[in-house]
Each structure stands twice: as structure tokens, then as C-alpha cells.
Amino acid sequence: MFIDDTKIRLKAGDGGSGAVAFHREKYVASGGPDGGDGGKGGDILFLADDNMSTLADFRYKKKYRAENGEAGRGKRCNGRKGSDLLIRVPRGTLVKDAETGRLIADISSDKPAVIAKGGRGGWGNSHFATATRQTPRFARPGAAGESFYIKLELKLLADVGLVGYPNVGKSTLISVVSEAKPVIADYPFTTIVPNLGVVSLENGASFVMADIPGLIENASEGAGLGHEFLRHVERCRLLLHIVDVSGSEGRDPKEDFKVINNELRKFNPELAERPMIAVGNKCDLASDEQISDFKNFVEMQGYEFFPVMAAIKYQVGPLMDRTAELLSKLPPVKEYLPDPVSPDKTAGEQEKTVEIIKNGNVFTVKAEWLVPVLRTINFAEEDSVRYFQRVLMKSGVDDALSKAGVQEGDTVSIYGVEFDYID
């Protein structure tokens, strides 16, 4: 089954919490704090795999999670780093933020791309020892790993794209110049998925060709199959526009040529500027006048014209030679650059989201990132409480409470922990 777009959820590993521990050894008095740091959470990476051609593997499994980092231990032993999760996708897959549509990465090279970063490990209490605080009984929790939904969108990496109305001979052409084996029949829409084939010439040149199905009028708006597969034309360096020059399907070849070019332009204006060769197929069914008339029509618009009979390979060789010649002068297959991260959408700011709910003189704080912090606080220990107060001030919780109208003596509730507010 050919699937070229899907939506999945990623959750990078959380960082391990730092340890609260003190050195215990015979004949060593006041050994001091020696809690180790937590391990970093595992990242989620994506890697191009040429053995994959669709996103069908992601049809049923929708959630992917990397390993959490381990918590620190005594004797300054740091926790183990969480294992990274490597996800393989077809080459040419775009990774986008499902919520904003921002392009995160184009998986087209051989280098893995980090998509979701694991949380950093928390500090053990050995980091918090000072001359005046020699026995800190608190540690820093690990940070949460990034978590979000992404959209995977496959755009085939092909040098040449075959475009045109159904049943004009695109599948026949790719079958005679490559090892591709598309379905070929004498009725429209026999090709319902893109087909890739490698064309190898006698002079040693080679290139990848893609047969794009389903282009008809209004394809850019969803008619036929074009809306689903037009995206695969966007990377192609050169287009071969196949036209039934004989009009054997009852259509006007000139009108066909104009309609398909217009659909390409409406889908992506850049495609109107893409180098193109007009290929008149089924010349055995056309008169010399029809071929000559169509040749003059396309050449008046600045396009080269090649008359062929794909089924018997008539003039197909010269067409492939000219295609390879043009490709040698064109830039490589397009790779997309990631979109910049919006300043108001950084992971750090998302982690520090604070919501205050007022109910009489009780102010409830909702901030998921505070939950692991609370686990490390010993409210019976003065230094630990002071550390928690600094966290509330530096993270903006104190400011949020003030904006919500909290007054001295009001009750503040944070995930089961309640205390009186002191200004």
C-alpha cells in the first residue's frame, strides 16, 4: 500500500533526577553531599532508508518514545543516558510540526536528523553545597523531553517527472526505459501510485524517473488523483510532458497541454518555470499534419518537442539522451531548508507555561513542569524550601500569582502542596 503522508506522536526521553545523598565512610566525618546527576533523556532521530518507498510502516504505530535517563545515585554516580530512538523513513520525507506546519527537517541526506531532543539530567545535591549550606537536602529534577505531533510527508526524489493526462503513455514510457513495472492497460487511471525507475544510458549516464499519476483538469483542487500526488513533482529537476498527439481519447492535444501546465502552475508557481520537454506520444495513430501542428504549437511557447511511439521505443533513445544532457546542466534535486523556530514557540517557553485558577482566596497553580520539581523538595528542610521559593520566582509562577490578584495570607495550591502566600 502506498502511503505518502501520515501523522505520529513523538516523545523524547525525560532526564533523570539528581540524587540526594551524603558520603558515608568509616573514619570520615562529615563527608558532605555526594548525590550524582541524572542521565540525559534519549533523543529521537530520523534517518533516510533507501529500502523504504512509502510511509506504510507508520499507518498503525502512531506513538514513538525514546528511553528516559536514569536517576543519579550516591558517591557522585551519574545516571545512565537514555538510549536514542532511530526512526527510518523513505528518502525525501519532510518532517513538519503537525500543529504549526513548520518544516522541521528534510530527510534527504545520509546524516541522521534530531527531531525531538531528550531532557537534560537533573543536578545532584553535590552541586548545591556552599560555605553556608553544607548539607543541601534537595536536588534538581530532570527536564522533560520534547513531546509533540509531527506530520510526515513524502516527496519523491526523482530527477525527471512524467506528467500528463491519464492514458497518454507515461507508464509505457517508464517501462521501456527502466526496470519499473507499472500497471499498463487501455483505460484511464491504471496508475494509482507514483512509480520510480532508474534510466541507464549506454554512455554511462543515469537518472531517476517518476511516473506521476492522476493529472486532469482541476487536479490542483483535488480532482482525480492529482491533489494527492502533485507534491511528488516538486523536487523533479526536469519535466517530460507526455501528450497523446493523435487525440485518440477524444481530447484536443493542445488543450491537454495547456490544462496540465495550468494545474502545475496553480499547485506551485515554481513548477511553471521548471524546464520541460513536450513529448508527443502515439504518433503512429496521428497524421503528419497533427504532429506538425502540435510541434509548432509547443515550440512557439519555447518548449522542445520530441515525437515518439513509446510502445515500440520509436525515437525514445534520442529523447533520453537529450534528457540526460539537460540534467547535466541543471542544479541537483531540491532539498528543503527547515523553517526558523518562532520566538514564542520555543521548547523552554512551552515548558514554563503557568495557569492560575482562582476560587475565592485559594489560587491553584497548574504547571506540569513543576511536578518533577515537587518530588525533590523536602518541605521539612529549610534549605530545600528556599530552593523551591527561588524556582517559583525565577520561573514566573510568583509573577503569575501577582497578576491573578493573590494577597498575603491567601492559600496557594500546587498539585496537593498548599501554603499561605507571603508577599
pLDDT reading at 218 higher than 70: no
Give me the mean pLDDT over the 34-48 stretch: 95
Q: What is residue 83's predicted lDDT score, i.e. its pLDDT?
A: 96
Condensed to tens digits (0 to 9), the pLDDT of residues 46-88 reads 999 988 878 888 988 999 999 999 999 988 899 999 999 999 9
CATH superfamily label, 1-154 = GTP1/OBG domain (2.70.210.12)
Q: What is residue 215's predicted lDDT score, i.e. its pLDDT?
A: 61
Q: What is residue 229's predicted lDDT score, i.e. its pLDDT?
A: 65
Q: What is residue 198's predicted lDDT score, i.e. its pLDDT?
A: 87
pLDDT reading at 346 higher than 50: no
Give me the mean pLDDT over the 398-423 stretch: 88
The residues spanned by each domain of the chain are 1-154, 160-327, 352-420
Q: What is residue 193's predicted lDDT score, i.e. its pLDDT?
A: 64
The closest of 149, 69, 140 to 116, measured between CA atoms, is: 149
Q: What is residue 187's predicted lDDT score, i.e. its pLDDT?
A: 40
Q: What is residue 185's predicted lDDT score, i.e. its pLDDT?
A: 43
Q: What is residue 88's predicted lDDT score, i.e. its pLDDT?
A: 95
pLDDT reading at 348 higher than 60: no
Give me the mean pLDDT over the 29-53 stretch: 89
d(CA 209, CA 220): 22
Q: What is residue 347's predicted lDDT score, i.e. its pLDDT?
A: 41
Q: What percent of the chain has pLDDT over 90?
A: 41
CATH class of 160-327: alpha beta
pLDDT reading at 127 higher than 90: no
Cα angle at 28 between 24 and 34, to 5 degrees? Answer: 45
Q: What is residue 191's predicted lDDT score, i.e. its pLDDT?
A: 46
CB atoms within 10 A of CB 168: 29
Q: For residue 111, give the C-alpha cell.
A: 546524516
pTM: 0.71
Give me the mean pLDDT over the 170-184 stretch: 78
CATH no. for 352-420: 3.30.300.350
> In whole numbers, what is the pLDDT of the chain averaged over residues?
85
Model confidence at 219, pLDDT cuts 50, 70, 90, reads: very low
Lowest mean pLDDT among 181-185, 276-280, 382-386, 419-423: 181-185
Q: What percent of the chain has pLDDT over 70?
A: 89
Q: What is residue 332's predicted lDDT score, i.e. its pLDDT?
A: 87
Q: What is residue 184's predicted lDDT score, i.e. its pLDDT?
A: 47
Condensed to tens digits (0 to 9), the pLDDT of residues 238-279 reads 999 999 999 888 889 999 999 989 988 888 888 888 999 999
d(CA 397, CA 294): 72
Q: What is residue 323's predicted lDDT score, i.e. its pLDDT?
A: 95
Lowest mean pLDDT among 105-114, 364-373, 391-400: 364-373
With helix as H, strand as E and coil as C, how does 314-336 read? ECHHHHHHHHHHHHCCCCCCCCC
- 150 or 376, higher pLDDT: 150
